[in-house]
Amino acid sequence: MAITRTLFSFFLGVGLALGADVPLEDLRNPNAAARAKAARKLGDRPDGFSYIAALVPLVEDTAAEVRNAAVGALIKFRSAQSIEPLITATRDEIPEIRALAVDGLVDFYYPGYVKFGRLGSITAFSGRLKSRFSEPNPVVIDPYVTVNPEVIRAIADVAANGGNSDVRANGSRALGILRGREGLAALQQGARSRDSKIILESVYAIKKIADTSAGPDIVFLLRDLDEDVQFAVIQTVGQLRTREARPGLVEIIEESDKAKIRREALVALAKIPDPEQRALFLTFMRHKDKFMRAAAAEGLGRIGNPRDADVIAKAFQAESAESARLSLAFAAVHLGNLSLMDYLVDGLNSTIHRLEARPFLVELARKPEVLERLHPKLDSGTAPQRRHLAHVMALSGNAESVRYLQKLAEDPDDKVAVAAIEALKILQARL
């Protein structure tokens, strides 16, 4: 890992030749503050990445602020050459430096994750770290991005042994962002922590990684007394279609006095098809809450009992809430009424409801007869429809979808063309 004295001398000579504003000579200054300042200045240079080798020894400097400054500079370069020293920094004795190194590794694969103007001192970073867990982070890399397994292993070690709850939670968050399936053991350990922050970030990460085998390991958290934890677990076991969660979800629906929790539990249960829950869904089809009616409809659709087609059709005609109508249309298509697929496609035109309609189409497009009917709409649909159908093809398309997306990549609407190009990358990585 350490740079040779000869190579360092080379970079020092180049730096001196370029002028005093290249502070390479100060990287070996006996004064720690001078070394840290030099590292920060080098990180701010547009050509600083040329001197990565000169910064590497500072990752193991005796002074913590120097190591912190070196890690910050290496992050700014966003270079593959920075990965190895950043992995080294994930083992630093100072927990906050480990967390900063983790952020840098994430930033390499998800540019913009680190806000460069806010790296600052260890103390400043520690304060920012404490405040970042007030809400979940939706960021996740694209499925076609391949992450170095050594990076995942290093981050998983921080998630499991980071030194304090903030640093461990930050490692768990990073594993989710990078879809680090190899780090699931660390996340499962985090889910058993006594710290709600670590539990939440571990559960959110498991949801992003979307490995269904992890679902049963977090079912016990459905009974957690922290409402935020309970809510996150309900969402995750639903997303993962965790069959073992069904009894717990039914219990919550029947006994919880929190409307938000009961609603989310019904939504989750609806994602886990089970004919035994048909009577429960039929009961909630008449509920006063439109979201409960919507979830019940989705559950009936996924169960797929042909006897429910008339129930869904009549409810669709009578329903006035658009969100519930979209759910009813989704159920109807599941039950064989393909004519209502157009209703869902029309929903993509709505800025309010398109992100409700799109996941329904992603799921339904896994049916060959639905996908076949969606392909022509990549040509004939409105610009919003073409753009969002590209996303549907990315996740649920097949080999036949490629030629439609290739044509869409030349769409005169720039947003549509960009969406098609991204969709092609994801689809081709899947095929």
Radius of gyration of the chain (CA): 26
Q: Tell me how many degrees the CA angle 373-374-376 measures, rounded to the nearest 5.
A: 85
Q: Which domains does the chain have, with CATH numbers?
A: 1-89 (1.25.10), 274-336 (1.25.10.10), 353-431 (no CATH)
- pLDDT of 21 reads 59
Backbone angles phi, psi at 262, to 5 degrees: -60, -45
Exposed / middle / buried, residue 108 (Cβ in 10 Å: 0-12, 13-18, 19+): buried
pLDDT given for residue 120 in this prediction: 67
From first to last of its 431 residues, what are the pLDDT tens digits of the chain?
444 444 444 444 444 444 345 567 889 999 999 999 999 989 888 887 788 999 999 999 999 999 999 999 999 999 999 999 999 999 999 999 999 999 999 999 999 999 876 556 777 777 788 888 888 889 999 999 999 999 999 999 999 998 899 999 999 999 999 999 999 999 999 999 999 999 999 999 999 999 999 999 999 999 999 999 999 999 999 999 999 999 999 999 999 999 999 999 999 999 999 999 999 999 999 999 999 999 999 999 999 999 999 999 999 999 999 999 999 999 999 999 999 999 999 999 999 999 999 999 999 999 999 999 999 999 999 999 999 999 999 999 999 999 999 999 999 999 999 999 999 999 999 99
SS (H, E, C) the chain: CCCCHHHHHHHHHHHHHHCCCCCHHHHHCCCHHHHHHHHHHHHHCCCHHHHHHHHHHHHHCCCHHHHHHHHHHHHHHCCHHHHHHHHHHCCCCCHHHHHHHHHHHHHHHCCCCCCHHHCCCHHHHHHHHHHHHHCCCCCCCCCCCCCCHHHHHHHHHHHHHCCCHHHHHHHHHHHHHCCCHHHHHHHHHHHCCCCHHHHHHHHHHHHHHCCHHHHHHHHHHHHCCCHHHHHHHHHHHHHCCCHHHHHHHHHHHHHCCCHHHHHHHHHHHHCCCCHHHHHHHHHHCCCCCHHHHHHHHHHHHHHCCHHHHHHHHHHHHHCCCHHHHHHHHHHHHHCCCHHHHHHHHHHCCCCCCHHHHHHHHHHHCCCHHHHHHHCCHHHHCCHHHHHHHHHHHHHHCCCCHHHHHHHHCCCCCHHHHHHHHHHHHHHHHHC
Q: How far is CA 15 from the centre of its chain?
A: 41
Tokens read off for 330? 């989704």
Q: What is the pLDDT of residues 282-298, one digit of tens each?
A: 999 999 999 999 999 99
Q: pLDDT tens digits for 87-124?
A: 999 999 999 999 999 999 999 999 999 987 655 677 77
The candidate with the shortest Cα–Cα distance to 359, out of 316, 322, 388, 317, is: 388
Q: Give the predicted TM-score (pTM) of the model.
A: 0.91
For the chain, how long is the longest CA-to-CA vector?
82
